[in-house]
Structures are given as structure tokens and as C-alpha cells.
Chains A and B, each alone.
Chain A
Amino acid sequence: MPSTDRGVFSLIIINKAGGLIYQREFQAGLHKLSTNDYLVLAGTFHGVHAITRSITPKIPSVQPPSPATSSPSTTAPAASSYSYPNPGVPVTGLDYLETDKFRLTCFQTLTGTKFLLFTDPLTGNVDTIVQKIYELYADFVMKNPFYQIEMPVRCEAFDRHLGAWLRGRA
């Protein structure tokens, strides 16, 4: 069993327009940035995420009249018909990023909100953590009548439950 009590460094939530709506540090381990830098980071990541999705390799499908491939038209197939490497799975942008010091997990909801979780590279069950955070978000942010959609999250109950849950795990 992987050690699940390793650290969760921080959490960032990005709305569907690429704006930073939540940033919280749980454990030291990463450099602290200024608020402005976090905003820039969120915007940059939003763009990069879209690009990583668009550079998905496209595999030309083998078409029945394959003799055509021996002809000089070598540049054509990329444009015509292709399939993705994992045909059954929806194409996503960046899901996990690994570095020497941390691991970034990006979870994008169906509505376009992105949860960026920075953890220790050895932290296990990251997906479970992200799912739980999404659940807490759905409960304590989306059900809060004082929360304005797409705006920065300032929900004390969300902070409290998030902190308590992560502490409970550690």
C-alpha cells in the first residue's frame, strides 16, 4: 500500500474562463508566489491545458484502398482521416504532470472548472483526493447562496471542511 499520508501541498481552482478562483496552501513544500503570479499561473495553465489537448497525436487510419499510400501523396493522410491513440477514451488535456519535487494533478469537471492539486510525488490515491475535493466544492461552494458563480471562492465552510478532511487523512 502506498503511503497515503504524504503531503498535499496546495490546491488551485480555475474557472472555465481561466480565472483563478481559489488558491490555498496546505503544507510547505512549494515556493510561495504573489497573488498576481498565481493569477498568471492560472491563466497560463488554462491555455497550456487547451494546447496539450490539441497536440494529441493523430494516427492516420488504415483505409481499405491502401495501395494509395505508395503514391506520392504522402502529406494527405494527416488531414483526411485519423484516430486517436486511445479511441474509446475522450481526449483530455494535461491530467498529471511530474517533476522532481512535486506532482500536479489536474481534474477538469464536465462544466470546465479545473482543480489543480499539487502533491508530493509519492502521494498515493491522488484521484480519490481530487474527487473528494470536487464533492466538497459541489456541497459547500455550489450550494452556498452567497457564492456567485465563476467568482473567487470565499466560503468559510468549504475551507473548514477541506482542511479538516485533509488533516483527517494525514
Chain B
Amino acid sequence: MIIAERKPIDEIKGFIEGKKKVLLVGCRGCVTVCNAGGTKEVGILASLLRLDAQKDGRELTVDEFTLERQCDPEYIEELLEHVEKKYEAILSMACSVGPQFISRRYPREKVYPSLNTCFIGGALAHGIWAEHCQACGNCVIHNFGGMCPISRCSKSLLNGPCGGSAGGVCEISKEVECIWHLIASKVMEEKRLDDFTPVQPIKDWTSSRDGGPRKIVREELVKEEMVK
């Protein structure tokens, strides 16, 4: 899933400075699962913003609404009845796709992101998330014992480890495991060194961001009248 975290409260306060009526929009997708922008986090942030305003004697209404997803136009459409209530700011608590979709659908609204979108990852334990994918567009983890050196090696090395690997830990931080240490250990443990391609060829990065913004079109799913 996409892992995000809430922006510092001061930054969010800066977005709504001088405004009296704001709408906080959550997302029930990835950011709910990573406890960054679901109904619960919307409630907490809305309450904090209200308390902050009340403390200073400022008038502020913070309305809360959580969409099924913010990355599909049909759900963004559900915001219409709220947008009609004329908010001075809409704070989106989704990954950065959410505020972009809201802005595109409601171009006159001032839309702000309340989260920082961090990475594609998974939960190592409750409350701990780690990056596991860089969306390079050409998955090769099968060549590396089921582990992704592109997202999990600090240098994205396809032929590692580098000299910075010591005791299974990356030189950048003792908190970062050396994925190449794990890959090599696993392959050796499984006695599959012979299958392990000694030198990986240069990766074609055109499927990654290097080829510019990406788009997927599934002809069999496209309804012409829906394309805007």
C-alpha cells in the first residue's frame, strides 16, 4: 500500500490561517490502513484544529468527511454536496493523488494536502512500515530471492553488496538492513548459488519514472463516454 504520514500540525495550521470554515476529507484506502488519513485520523486532526482555534478564541468550523477512495472520480463526485457548502479550504487526508483529484474536479476550491506521501511499503509490525517497492514498472524480485534491491538497497544496486555492507547492516544507518546481505544469505542457505545470475545486466529504466509520468490504458475496460 501507499504509506503516508500526517504533516506537522503547524504546516496544516498554516494552510488554514485566517480561514473560518474548512472541510477535512479522509480516504478509506491505503492511508486508513497505515493510520494516516482514515476516519479516525480525520477525527483526531479535526479535533486538534478545533481545539487550537478555540484556545486562541478564533472562530473555526472543521467538518469531517471520509471518502471510500480519493483516487477514483466516482468517489470524488460524492464530495459535491459538501463542496456546495462553500468551504474556504479543503484539506485532503489522502496520498497526494487525493488532493490532485479533488482540485481537478473542483477547480475553484482551495485544496491542501494534509499528508506527506512517503513510499510503497508494508507493515513490519503494528505501527512500523517499511519501503518495499519503488514502482520501477518492471518487477525483478524473482532474481533476488524474492527481495527488491531497487527499493530496499540504498543505492538500488542490482549487483551487490557494496563495500558499505557490514554485519548485515547498511552503511547509511544501523537501522537499515543490507538487502544484499539478506539476498546472498538466502541464496546460499538454499544452495541456489548456481542459479543466481552472477552479473545482472543494466536495467531498462524507461518503465520507471525516467520515462516521464506513466499511464496504463486497458482498452477492454475503457468506456469512451467516461473519458474526460
The finding on whether chains A and B are genuine partners in a shared complex, rather than unrelated, reads no
Residues of A within 8 A of B (CB): none
